Structure 1
């Protein structure tokens, strides 16, 4: 044990120095050796607790934090937030809820209360789950780090309770022993051999999942989206009675075939077989549990692909499809002839739609010429008489063509971009600075001018000449994520940057990466523009360094040595030597 006095201060300074050198493990051991002498005034106890949390020594961190609050009466937002987090990690959810209530964090309280409810679920929740996910009657599976292994008995309520609590992760064999299914699913995931930037892959996966969801619901099927716990999505379809596996598999495969799936993604339909033929069939991981390999919860999402707050209530609200809906869809996809309806060629002005109608109808669609009088002029119009295939094609085309794929990808992936687009649609106005951001992105994507025209054309002060000027001024370098955030803060734009955390591994950290599969757009950047940007950023850096130094000097005059100032998301400490330390928490 080290005695108090100079020896203690020497060890604490060694720990500070180890942190500066990023030798965090060494610093942690040094702090431990003088734990009883650490104080708030010099910031040492705060640093020690931070390292305990970072190295996941939660039990010791809990003791230190409780001592700070109870014995030392050190109540700060940081101590409460850190203690609540530690309680969560230790599974002391009730305590975490109490602290989050004191902090006024309603979202966290709701989330944890839902988790508590999952650990002690009502019978109604368990019954609903068992009814919806009614698969193979005599076997289910358990996920492990190595994969899944079958459990040769019926799924029981106690298994679902453990699944909800994250103690066990259930896989359901989709097909029942009589070759029927009570539910089906479409799995959208990143392919194993995909090598692209992860941010781009995740964005592509989400876009494809949204297309699948749109097409499935456009067919009149009720569907529900779940984040699979790793990197993909499940689109679930439930029925009020068992339906033949071959029917739902046929219909879902036909729907999936309409989507152009990139090579770096895979889309699979469950069930994967029409008949069991003596085997168990394929399984799929059930929602509301925890993915064993990632530790992430498999949660339901709303129609906008945002996490639903109350997962169990969402489960209760799931509606099953009538088996008759599937029968009707199966007939539409397999039957060439049916009740004929007339549609004018104006309704089929898209050549690709007409082609799909003819192909899917296999020649059953007949066209006949009619003479329609318009005033004194006789106009010849082609009228298509078609089966329900025509309605189905039109419905699906409408679902997929609701938004340009590039625009949809940017809107779904870049939070700032999506807010500007939403403003243009909602109030028909965006500021000049917001237009600059929009153009700074769209100038560097295919058909960017037309896309900008589509968005800004809805605003009350739209001018095509004005927009051309914006494109001319934008230069050859795409706006980076950092540039966008600087604009938002510098001009106090009413845009939320809380979800702007994208980090691309490419040379430029820009939303343009969501659209391009490679960095070919860099070839269009001029060396002169790059040189100007380098000079500009270097100048900004020098100015920032001068401003930071001045702020630190001013703060030294306001705070005494050993002071700690807690701020939202940051902590400022004045060390014994008078040095100002800024930490982001």
Structure 2
């Protein structure tokens, strides 16, 4: 056991000897790649050895790996001037002026002033010699392809950092702990600015990072709607094999979020999170007050969340002020590996799940201006009081009812409790007594309430036509009010967010969402068929019931 403790040290010493023997060529490139993948080895090197390692990588055409080592060298040995010069010189050879300027600025922050005009690195010296004394060979197609891929990857990381910006001086790293067959995950803060190398580590799966949405000025440059599968439906046993319905609802809610966002002139990126659902990202060109972002996304989530059975929606930022630890809530960055599930996240609209396709997709995405989020927030109050004529995507199970019972579409868009219960009934889910009471005590007061309730409850396991008719015959008074419904549903009065323009003596109830409810309530209720259309609806319901027993 004592000897086993020395194995890593012996391995590192052997690798150091190997490093000194490496030259140029395809075989050497493979040896260098092997050493680079041994992160523990090269991160234990000193500053001079790291510099030499980076030069060997670059000389063998492994540009991205060489730059990765140089970034690590600058971060770990900020007073090592030669490392800064080497990094800036190679970027200058590549013609990337923006990166060169960034290295100059970063070095200056560390107290190092660079003067590339009076000092050159061995790499740039070698280039000069080749240009003076040797007729350069035309690069091969493979060389051009590798270089093109490298530059595209660099631009992808740059664009990534522009789109997904959080707090400037701090980010978070995800941890994973496995104990007694249970996996726990969480985050801890990393109190420094995020670097290109951190992004590379994240997308490669070596680490998983998140960002704190609010910056120190209590503004945000990106917002997120987190669309998660509810706890009881997250595994095969909980879903009871109903994955088709879960998938249909996922398509529905993501489409609905996109359409509502488009109505507000906001663009979004939809990502599979690698965990329990999806993240919908809203990047802004420059930070906006957190209140504007939170208000817009809460409106979108509120409109899109009606009647969802399998998914719940959560908005980030959750707060507009920094309190407590002063960091606020965080969200996992996209295109990383979830440490709990081991699955990689990806953007759904990209042409492929590989990182090249994902980067190509985000490079084509244009974030919206700060004015767009301000205008969106200003328009929301007007949208909240519209008369129901605004286009809204109905829940999938409502598709067959929107022509027969258009009044249900107004209720579906206005009351999330009734919307959920109607969806449960149409899918044949068994209901509790309280849930039946809510449906009968509200929809039973509609002129066509009898037909609607037979249609909704007709697929439930405990459906009995005669019992339902009896319950409806005993219905008296007025529809159940919002407070009573929330109490029966176990949500309390805190979740009531509907607003009505009530007349004197009126109270709030869900049927007020229906356009023209005032005219309908003046009609006399009767058990007889009032028109041929109602008779057809009754006949369809009877046929469905008969088919169940055949």
TM-score interval, smaller chain: 0.3 to 0.5
TM-score (norm 1): 0.39
TM-score (norm 2): 0.41
Structure with more strand by fraction = 1
